[in-house]
Structure 1
C-alpha cells in the first residue's frame, strides 16, 4: 500500500489534518503522519495526534500533504521537514498545501514562478516569494496543489487524489 505523508506540528488545524487523513485512507493509501520529531502534537483546539515518525526517518512517499493552522510556522523551522518537502517535490510526487502551509513551500524554495493560493493573510508572503497568487479556493500547478482554507478541503483532496491516481 502506497504511503502518503501528512506533516504535523503543534497548533495544526485539526480539520485540515483529519479530513485529508481519512480521505487518503478511504482512497486506498496508507497515511503516514510525520513531524519534526516522532511525538504527540496538539491542534489549536487541544485535540492531539502522535506523529508516526520524524521527517528525518521518512521513507519513500507517494505524496505529501501539509495542513495549515499555526503548525506551518513550526514546520518551516525544521531543516529535515524542508528537506523532505523538497525531496517529494523534486521527485514530481503530489504535494498539497492548504491555508498557512504555503509558508513551508516558501521556506523550501518551491513557490517562485508557480501558480499558488493560500489563506489571505499569507498572500503577500507567497507573492513576495515569487509565487503567482490566484484568488481561487484550489489551484493546481503541475504536482503542486494549494488551497485557501478548510472550506476548500473537498476540492483540495479531489485534486490531490487525482494527481496520485495519475
Structure 2
C-alpha cells in the first residue's frame, strides 16, 4: 500500500501544539507528513518564538503528490490570507482532496466559501467569521463534514491529529495511535 502524503503549512506565528501534535501523531501512523513553509525560507518562527525548520518551502512543492493539506492556526493565520498560493492550494484541495484546519485557520476556509452549509468549528473568538461564511457551527472538539476537518484549538490538537489519521487510514489505526500515546 502506498504511503499517504500530507502537506502541513507553517507560517510565522503558527501555534505550536496545533502544528506539531498532528505532525507527530500522523508520523507515528506512518503517514508521510511534510511541513511546508509559506515563507521564502525554511525557518519559521512560532507564536511562542520557537524557530522550526520546515521540510520544504511552498514554491518548491508539487502539491499533486499530496492528498491532504493541513492549516494550523494561531496569530499567524493572517499570513494565509496574504498568500495567493496558499489560498489557491486550499481551494483546489477542498474541491477534490482533503483539508484540515484548526483554531483560527477555519476562517480561511470560510473566507473562500468552502464552509458554506457545512458543519465546522474553530477557536471561539473566530466563530463570527465562520457564521459569516455560512458555516453550520457545532460545539465538538473536531468536526468532519465531507472532505473537510476542523477543530477548536490547541486543547483539541490531539483529537484533531487522531481525526486526520482516521480520515486517511481508518478508525482502527487512529485508535491504535491514541492507545500508544495513552490518550485512551
Q: TM-score, normalised by structure 2?
A: 0.83
Segments of structure 1 that go 5 or more residues without pairing to the other structure are none
Kindly report structure 1 stretches of 4+ aligned residues shifted beyond 6 Å.
none
Counterpart in 2 of 1:114?
Answer: 118
Counterpart in 2 of 1:94?
Answer: 98
Q: What's the CA shift for 1:55? A: 3.3
Work out whether 1:70 is the aligned partner of 2:75: yes
Q: Pick the structure with greater CA Rg.
A: 2
Tell me how far apart the structure 2 counterparts of residues 30 and 38 of structure 1 sit (CA, whole Å): 23
Size of the aligned set, in residue pairs, is 165
Counterpart in 2 of 1:31?
Answer: 33
> Which of 26, 31, 41 is matched with 2:44 structurally?
41
Tell me how far apart the structure 2 counterparts of residues 49 and 78 of structure 1 sit (CA, whole Å): 20
Q: TM-score, normalised by structure 1?
A: 0.91
RMSD: 1.6
Tell me how far apart the structure 2 counterparts of residues 99 and 146 of structure 1 sit (CA, whole Å): 8
Counterpart in 2 of 1:155?
Answer: 159
Tell me how far apart the structure 2 counterparts of residues 12 and 103 of structure 1 sit (CA, whole Å): 14
Maintained 8 Å contact 2:36/2:57: yes
Q: What's the CA shift for 1:77? A: 1.4
Segments of structure 2 that go 5 or more residues without pairing to the other structure are 171-184
